[in-house]
Amino acid sequence: MNWTERPVFVTGATGIVGSWLVKRLLERGAHVVTLVRDWDPQTELVRSGDIGRTSVVNGALEDYATLERALNEHEIDTVFHLGAQPIVATALRNPLPTFEANIRGTYNLLEACRVHRGLVTRVVVASSDKAYGDSPVLPYTEDMPAKGRHPYDVSKSCTDLLAMSYAHTYELPVTVARCGNIYGGGDLNWSRIVPGTIRSLWLGQRPQIRSNGRFTRDYIYVQDVVDAYLALAERCRDEGVRGEAFNFSPETRLDVLEITRTIQRLMDRTDLDPVILDQARSEIRDQYLDSSKARQRLGWRARYTLDSGLSETIEWYKEFLSRTSDRSPAESCSSPKPQ
């Protein structure tokens, strides 16, 4: 598929995946339009200067008129819907904004795509393994129902159901990508285990684990996720891809203590034992994905091992933290508002 001059709309462009997806699309010559709610100079999209190479639409997913205008005025061909409130604990503390962004935001965008189906030829919706909810049977496969129970999980279940509704009722060319825990440079949500552990070790502090350390997860490197989203977009209109959901995982599940220990080893800081807080609540204990469908229908496989992905990630944070270390802790380590 030729991306040169193709008009592409990316929501959630300042997030970890959005930033690297935009970079890849720019490298391939696409005309990228980004939806930006809040300006944060520390995000990778801004820090790298890539935002200056995109057409920026300022606004929120909750505003249908903004989304409709973006698609119409920029004559968008391809949509990557990554925008969401992405933090489980944030949704737990106050679910309404998460429901507004993740559910209303999704149906607003899908409806705008339906209205402008003469322009929009492919839509990739970023989802999560959280959409499956808690299951006694693992790994998750795509034939399992979406049945989230906690606020964030419910918002992702609804996202998936809305996407499938528009695909099957209105024949909108939509596909859904479900990933586990995504890590990589540019994630400034320090409550997440990978960036939080790297920052703590870089500062010479013991990393903190909110759970008991035994929750198991998939961990997938952001560049593998970008590969997955592009593969879906390029095959979106094909039989067996259109109107389907796909799991993406390296299929090497770990518990929280295992990934913490791996980061300690790669940073040569095994002397700093993690602090087990055991405070996690309303979180699914074990989650991991089967990716055989993506291998068979898309030819997708993770290119990065855990060590190679984490090594690149650690180098990104070392550079980032070195440049921000002369600023105040509150300034240099603040988290951006989710997009």
Please give the C-alpha separations between residue 198 and each of 20, 84, 110, 264, in angstroms, as whole numbers.
20, 24, 37, 8
Place of tokens 């997913």: 61
Choice among 64, 107, 132, 152 that is catalytic: 152
* 165, 169, 174, 176: CA torsion to nearest 10: 30
Sheet with 174-179: strands ordered across: 55-58, 31-36, 7-11, 78-81, 122-128, 174-179, 245-248
Q: 276 with 210: CB under 8 angstroms? A: no
Instruction: Verify whether residue 317 is a known catalytic residue.
Output: no
Q: Find the helix or strand (DSSP H, E) in which 259 lies.
A: helix 256-266
CA 12 to chain centre: 9
Torsion angles phi and psi, residue 310, rounded to 5? -65, -35
Please give the C-alpha separations between residue 323 and each of 187, 204, 326, 327, 333, in angstroms, as whole numbers.
16, 17, 7, 9, 12
Place of tokens 């790297």: 198
Q: Which residues are catalytic?
A: 152
